[in-house]
Amino acid sequence: MSAATRSPSDDQIERVRAATARWIVAAREITGATPRRLPVPEVLFDLRGRSAGQAVYAKRSRRCHIRFNAGLLAAYPDDMLAVTVPHEVAHVVVYRLYGMRAKPHGAEWKALMAAFGVDAAACHNMTTTPARRLTQYRYTCGCAEPAWLTSIRHRRAKAGTRYQCRRCRQVLVADPGEDVSS
């Protein structure tokens, strides 16, 4: 059974929610922020694919919530608690204190991760599978090798968006002969 198909136990879910609250309290102590300025965010377990966690911000209301990958929580509960939870909490804290001007893995975030005593790695190293596989379409340019665009970019190209080859800088043109790669 792959990590994507596992479901976390109620105990694992509760441990993540409790750990999120503990990291927020620690961030308040480190930064001097009040509970009003730094409330405990809502925690959801609806993330799929390769991402372990995601901090989500609402610009207008300034409300935040954190999404966690339930499959990865079930497969790697210790890694999620030790690394992913403080990682996502640090994103929420930086957003609440510095707004959108702070870079996602910038100096403020790295300083908070150091204060947490957690490695400030931008990515996790848990084994994952993608949530979906995008179809790829063949495009040509001045290079001998074809370029491949995902179905999303292919649809945008058909609607008028122009993409350039990274090597020769020519505009990519859909290859009518061989459309799809798997």
* Residues 74, 9 within the same domain: yes
What Rg value do the Cα atoms of the chain yield, rounded?
Answer: 21
Sign of CA dihedral 91, 72, 6, 135: positive
* Residues 160, 77 within the same domain: no
Condensed to tens digits (0 to 9), the pLDDT of residues 45-86 reads 999 888 899 999 987 777 899 999 999 999 999 999 999 999
Residue 66 lies in a domain: yes
pLDDT for 30 equals 97
Tell me the pLDDT band of 181, cut-offs 50, 70 and 90: low
pLDDT for 139 equals 92
Between 6 and 113, residue with greater pLDDT: 113
Closest among 91, 94, 86 to 118, alpha carbons compared: 86
* Residues 145, 71 within the same domain: no
pLDDT for 1 equals 45
Distance between CA atoms of 25 and 33, rounded to whole angstroms?
A: 9
Instruction: Provide the residue range defining the domain that includes 173.
Output: 136-181
Q: Active-site residue among 14, 29, 42, 88? A: 88
Integer CA distances (angstroms), 170 to 62, 140, 163, in order: 42, 9, 8
Is 145 among the catalytic positions? Answer: no
Q: Can you give the CATH number for the domain in which 59 is found? A: 3.30.2010
Scanning the chain, the segments in alpha helix (DSSP H) are 10-31, 70-75, 77-79, 85-98, 107-116, 151-158
Burial of 168 (0-12, 13-18, 19+ CB in 10 A): exposed
